Structure 1
Amino acid sequence: METTQRHTPKKKRKGLKIFLIILVVILAAITAYGYSIYHNINKAVSTVHKPIERTPEVKRPTDLQLTKREPFSVLLLGVDERPGDRGRSDTMIVMTVNPDKKSMEMLSIPRDTRVTLVGRGTEDKINHAYAFGGVEMSMNTVERFLDIPIDYYIKMNMEGFKDIVDSVGGVTVNNDLEFSAGGTTFPKGKIDLNGADALSYARMRKQDSRGDFGRQLRQRQIIQGVINKGANISALWKYDEILKAISKNVETNISFDEMLDIQKNYADARHNIEQLQIAGTGKMIHNGKQNIWYYIVSDEERTKVQNRLKEHLGL
């Protein structure tokens, strides 16, 4: 099942997850350069490793065991952070990985989706969960909304997007919509982007009739471009710049050992990646002070998506 926003054509698109940026660098660098590089990568990953203590909304029957190739899930958060402001999650993608099926599924959740915020008990936009309660509230709210366990999170500072792009020497994307943003015009077709342009490209929404869905596509293109460059052996000569950019802009509760387990036991899954979107309709709702636009997902659609993800997780 692939669901899309109303009036938006159904599409299957290739994409990859943010933490593969780290995993690709780990695997290739260890192979090419040996222990000294391994030590530096271990140190960098230790910097981004941020464990989180929380009580899950949806618990697994038993603890997840990566060594047994059990399916797992990750919440990807692209966060707009500024000095003195925690910010909001500009991007929310839930990824499920099933090594037996050799597949990954990535569900983009529109940031305006109306949900119950766990810990506040109020109906609000799902991206406000991060503003009110950080990673913990975001994970718990997504768990309750989708009724699946969220095993890991990866948070990336969207402002630091450009640092990561620049660290690999820029990216190439295939743009399907001509538009201007951030003082730059982006024509249709294959275009090369530096870090600043990549950030503008990934953030644009208002000129795209697909709204959040179009922006999510462009963000996945940038991530794919970074991974393609990061996996290129020539990029390893700049591994130090890549690791610095990751260290400054990425946080995750995936440990170094878990990353190695994922690379060892789940590598086949990355070759079959399906992008999912959740269908809904826009609606203005009065909250007592003003009318606010929300993305409303029906109970029927929500159940369909929940069942799809549960099946992929073997639950």
Structure 2
Amino acid sequence: MRNAVPPTRGDDLVPGMRPDRPRRRGRRVLVALLAVVLLLLLAAAGAVAYLTSSIGNDISRIPDAFRGIDANDRPASFGGTTFLLVGTDSRSSEPTTGSEADPNADAGSQRSDVIMLGTVAPDGSNASVVSIPRDSWVEVPGKGMNKINAAYAFGGAPLLIETVEKLTGVRVDHFGVIDFAGFTGLVDSVGGIDVDVAQATSNNGVDFRAGRNHLDGTQALAYVRQRHGLPNGDLDRAARQQNAMKALLTTVQRKASTDPAALYAFATNVGDAVSVDDSLSNTGLAQLALQSRDLRASNVAFVTAPVRGLGREGAQSVVYLDDDRGAELWGAVRNGSVTEWSDRHPSQSLSGLPS
């Protein structure tokens, strides 16, 4: 497996941008949603109030993420806390998330590359992360049938939140975005992550061998972005993103007791990686961290929304969701039984050895 950073491709640049700018410049926003890791792991540092206040001040807030959503049309809360977590495929030459981002920039000017719904149980004892394929063919309020990721392009966070709530019947409490430069920094801050790979593959100049692979931030980015060469394309890529999230969660929890310096480095990198909606205060971060202090990776269920099949709508390749099994899954999210649902539907669950 090569450790060298692959050369930047010409089509990853925008006009007038030099390829030797710092790594936050001119790079795509990450296709993984690690904001949930931040929110579940701050408690592990042992100084929750201090860290969430200090780090919380460094996390940029997304204004008006819920603007214009009719409160009467929203699903009822079930007592847990749910985050809609997205990454976009923006090629902006400026940071789009994190503390260096322009807080007034239109985050919805690009399509979301990955969508995950992360839910923490009311007592913080368990959580679930559900990937919704970006090409899912769904009803976008006011826009008709379209790919779910188009909702973000059409109307930013509010329209994507409204679309996901209508699809799932799950109330979204908070919205978060993370970019790829932030992801690489988070992985590197804890010394890398270990992932298991089912078969040898390569992507963007990085080779992955069958079995256990230790990845630094750049290699982890290549891992979660690979789509070509995987048996199920985007669906396998979603599984890889969940696998990387679980690996980072496991690593950070291990570092909590053995390497406080690495844990602190991870925590202080969060502000450069993550943006969250402006309704999530520092106090709210502290309360969630305290509530979730005993949560472990083994108690987080990672699943993918059930798919009925693949097809085309005009010139677009789309994913058709399975309405019946989907309704069962969203009910499980609301009542905290996703683990039991995944046991009944193992094909929808994150396996121990994704492609």
Residues 1:59 and 2:74 are matched in the alignment: yes
1:29 shift after superposition: 4.9
Residue of 81, 105, 117 corresponding to 1:72: 81
| One-letter identity of the residue aligned with 1:296 | Y
Q: Deviations over 1:247-289 (max 9, x none)?
A: 1221113322122222223445545222232222111122xxx
Cα distance in 1 between the residues matched to 2:260 and 2:158: 34
Superposition map of 1:81-92 within 5 A: 81-83=90-92, 86-92=109-115
Consecutive unaligned residues of structure 1, counting only runs of 5 or more, are 1-15, 65-69
Q: Provide the residue aligned with 1:18 in structure 2.
A: 35
Q: What's the secondary structure of 2:191's corresponding residue? A: coil
**Higher deviation after alignment, 90-99 or 260-269:** 260-269
Task: State the shift of 1:24 in Å.
Answer: 2.2
Distance in 2 separating the partners of 1:300 and 1:194: 40
Higher strand share: 1
Q: 1:280 to 1:217 in 2, by over 3 A?
A: same
Confirm whether residue 249 of structure 1 aligns to residue 273 of structure 2.
Answer: yes
1:22-61 deviation digits (Å, cap 9, x = unpaired): 5424541517xxx8xx26x523312325253424464355
Summarize the Cα distance change of 1:307–1:229 in structure 2 as closer, same or farther, 3 Å threshold: closer
**1:114 aligned residue:** 137
- Name the CA shift for 1:128/1:61 in 2 (closer, same or farther; >3 Å): closer
1:206 matches 2:231: no
Partner of 1:149, secondary structure, is: coil
User: Residue 153 of structure 1: SS of its match in structure 2?
Assistant: strand
Q: Retained in 1: the 8 A contact 2:223–2:240? A: yes
Q: Structure 2: how far apart are the matches of 1:163 and 1:17?
A: 12
Matching of residue 260 in structure 1 with residue 286 in structure 2: yes
Q: Conserved in 1, the CA contact under 8 Å of 2:178 and 2:275?
A: yes
For residues 37-56 of structure 1, what are the structure 2 equivalents within 5 Å? 38=50, 41-50=52-61, 51=63, 52-56=65-69
Q: Deviations over 1:172-226 (max 9, x none)?
A: 1112221011111100111111111110001111211122232122212222232
1:275 aligns with 2:290: no
Mapped to 1, the partners of 2:322 and 2:241 lie a distance apart of 26
CA deviation after TM superposition for structure 1 residue 92, in Å: 1.0
Secondary structure of residue in 2 paired with 1:303? helix
Q: Say if 1:172 and 1:225, in contact at 8 Å, map to a contact too.
A: yes
Q: Per the alignment, do residues 27 and 308 of structure 1 end up closer, same or farther by CA in structure 2, a change over 3 Å counting? A: closer
**Paired AA for residue 313 in structure 2:** I
Which residue in 2 is equivalent to 1:10?
Answer: none
Residue 45 of structure 2: which of 6, 22, 28 is its match?
Answer: 28
The TM-score normalised by the length of structure 1 is 0.78
Could you tell me how far 1:300 is from its partner in structure 2? 2.7
SS of 1:43's equivalent in the other structure is helix
Higher relative contact order (CA 8 A, sep 6+): 1
1:219 to 220, 241, 256: 241
Identity level (%): 24
CA distance in 2, matches of 1:130, 1:282: 22
Deviation at 1:153, TM superposition (A): 1.8
> Structure 2 CA distance, aligned partners of 1:104 and 1:19?
10
**Alignment RMSD, CA only?**
2.9
Deviation of 1:127 (Å): 1.4
Rate the CA distance shift 1:229–1:105 in 2: closer, same or farther, 3 A: closer
Cα distance in structure 2, aligned partners of 1:248 and 1:215: 24
Q: Secondary structure at the match of 1:82?
A: coil
Q: CA separation of 1:214/1:20 partners in 2, compared to 1, >3 Å: closer, same or farther?
A: same
